[in-house]
């Protein structure tokens, strides 16, 4: 039994592994390795809260089970609990003094924690100082004669520019930094003027498309446009968060999306996801990718832009779209969401946190989140929220689904995820939703992944995002 389940872990069938280890634990909850291996599977599915619980249980059964400390360290690091993580990696290193990998991981963690603490201290010292956006002198940036790529004319986005940009990126070429900065500064100005919750109108004879997570899978993004048509004034889109991280073409994804936002500001919408945040970008690849393809200053400017992106959209007063989900308290209204202060990094609790991190559950009520952040909310929570706010249903993203989507809570909560074969290993379909202005019954289109250049997902990620492998 143990060998069979271990094969599932190695081959990437993590959800199946969770089910089988859960069954094994029900039969014999005293086997430490079952808890440790399920903790590993939870880490791989980003259920870091559950991973911590299982690692703690394994340690309770067998305090000398070294892998459990490794699992707990990995989960804590992913949650930003760096000191707790370092403490457990130190335990692993002490328990295995001749294990070169254990020593390496401890030293890496120690170095990274010290670096992050230093960056946090520098950031605190800079509070109130001029932002990167305010300090940029884009006009003085010179575009070399040797540059052969798309150019903004008088700083303006045109349809021709976006089409050329998509082709340029498809050929793995870079956009000149001057044009990157111009796009970022313009889109930040636009986002700053928007409400935290944006109201979207759909003409009665019009179509509207909702996409979920893209996660840096640029070539799959292009495939969506092939399948459903390019964005335009008659083909509007909403991208519901997690544009970046994981996939190694995140810079290409976000610049194309921002360009479409500027080209069609009233017909192209973007909502912030939990991965549009500084901590996640440091871990899961976006920071590293932008530094490799751009610069440290460009990274900081992206962080400033992400802090301005709206958190939710209400389509025709009938459908609420938000990246994560619903709330830990009853009685939350759409007006409450409009008042949320989003111009910051996501907090660990409250409405903003829940909008970015929450997940639906089958059982009524609420429960602690498997992720260690946010919460799980049941069908009664969704029903009450929709009734209070006059909504037909809620669309959210945030979770991989085998078919690219899943219908929850008697149709009142829908998950859509648009990154097929997530991280080149999950085997899932992607999906998008279309609705019409005279019929808000959701129509689902599923699609598979398409080939991409030989650059692996997570190529730019922190080594600690790979812990548990």
The set of catalytic residues is 275
Could you count the other beta carbons within 10 Å of the beta carbon of residue 2?
A: 12
Beginning with the edge strand found earlier in the chain, give each strand of the sheet holding 375-377 in spatial order: 359-360, 375-377, 366-368
Buried b (16+ CB within 10 A) or exposed e, 65-91: bbbbbbbbbbbbbbbbbbebbbebbeb
8 A C-beta contact, residue 410 and residue 379: yes
Write the CB contacts of 243 (distance below 8 Å, at least 6 apart in sequence). 214, 215, 216, 250, 253, 254, 257, 270, 273, 275, 276
In sequence order, what are the beta bridge partners of 197?
312
Question: Rounded to an integer, what distance in angstroms lies between the CA atom of residue 345 and that of residue 280?
Answer: 11
Signed CA dihedral, 118, 119, 123, 124: sign only: negative
**What does the angle CA 299 – CA 113 – CA 12 come to, to the nearest 5 degrees?**
80
| Beta-ladder partners of 360 | 377
- Give the CA-trace dihedral at 158, 164, 168, 170, to 10 degrees: 110
C-beta separation of 205 from 389 below 8 A: no
Whole-number Å distance between alpha carbons of 54 and 45? 14
Torsional sign, CA 357, 358, 360, 361: positive
Query: In the numeric block, which tokens belong to residue 220?
Result: 């799959």
Residue with tokens 């939350």: 332
398: nearest Cα among 411, 388, 390, 408: 408
CB 394 within 8 A of CB 414: yes
């Amino acid at each position: 039994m143990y060998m069979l389940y271990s094969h599932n872990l190695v081959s990437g069938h993590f959800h199946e592994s969770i089910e089988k280890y859960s069954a094994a634990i029900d039969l014999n909850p005293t086997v430490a390795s079952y808890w440790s291996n399920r903790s590993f599977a939870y880490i791989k599915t980003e259920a870091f809260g559950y991973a911590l619980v299982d690692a703690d249980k394994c340690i309770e059964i067998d305090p000398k089970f070294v892998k459990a400390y490794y699992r707990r360290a990995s989960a804590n690091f992913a949650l930003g609990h760096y000191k707790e993580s370092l403490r457990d990696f130190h335990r692993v290193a002490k328990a295995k003094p001749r294990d070169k990998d254990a020593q390496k991981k401890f030293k890496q963690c120690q170095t990274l924690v010290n670096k992050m603490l230093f960056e946090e201290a520098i950031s605190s010292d800079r509070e109130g100082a001029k932002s990167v956006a305010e300090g940029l002198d884009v006009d003085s940036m010179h575009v070399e004669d040797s540059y052969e790529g798309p150019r903004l004319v008088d700083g303006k986005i045109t349809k021709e520019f976006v089409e050329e940009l998509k082709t340029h990126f498809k050929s793995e070429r870079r956009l000149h930094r001057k044009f990157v900065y111009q796009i970022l500064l313009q889109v930040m100005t636009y986002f700053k003027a928007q409400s935290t919750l944006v109201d979207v109108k759909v003409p009665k004879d019009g179509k509207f498309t909702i996409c979920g997570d893209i996660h840096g899978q640029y070539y799959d993004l292009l495939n969506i446009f092939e399948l459903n048509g390019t964005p335009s004034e008659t083909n509007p889109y909403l991208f519901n968060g997690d544009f970046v991280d994981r996939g190694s073409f995140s810079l290409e994804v976000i610049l194309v999306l921002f360009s479409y936002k500027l080209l069609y500001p009233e017909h192209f919408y973007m909502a912030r996801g939990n991965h549009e945040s500084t901590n996640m970008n440091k871990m899961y690849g976006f920071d590293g990718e932008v530094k490799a393809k751009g610069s440290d200053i460009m990274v900081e400017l992206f962080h400033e832009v992400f802090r301005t992106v709206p958190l939710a959209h209400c389509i025709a007063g009938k459908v609420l779209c938000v990246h994560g989900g619903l709330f830990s308290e009853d009685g939350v209204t759409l007006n409450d969401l409009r008042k949320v202060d989003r111009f910051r990094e996501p907090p660990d609790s409250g409405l903003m946190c829940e909008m970015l991190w929450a997940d639906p559950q089958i059982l009524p009520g609420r429960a602690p989140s498997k992720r260690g952040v946010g919460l799980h909310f049941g069908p009664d929570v969704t029903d009450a929220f929709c009734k209070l706010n006059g909504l037909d249903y809620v669309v959210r993203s945030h979770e991989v689904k085998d078919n690219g989507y899943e219908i929850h809570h008697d149709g009142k909560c829908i998950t859509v995820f648009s990154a097929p074969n997530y991280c080149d290993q999950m085997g899932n379909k992607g999906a998008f939703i279309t609705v019409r202005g005279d019929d808000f019954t959701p129509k689902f289109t599923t699609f598979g992944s398409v080939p991409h250049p030989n650059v692996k997902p997570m190529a730019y990620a922190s080594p600690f995002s790979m812990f548990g492998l």
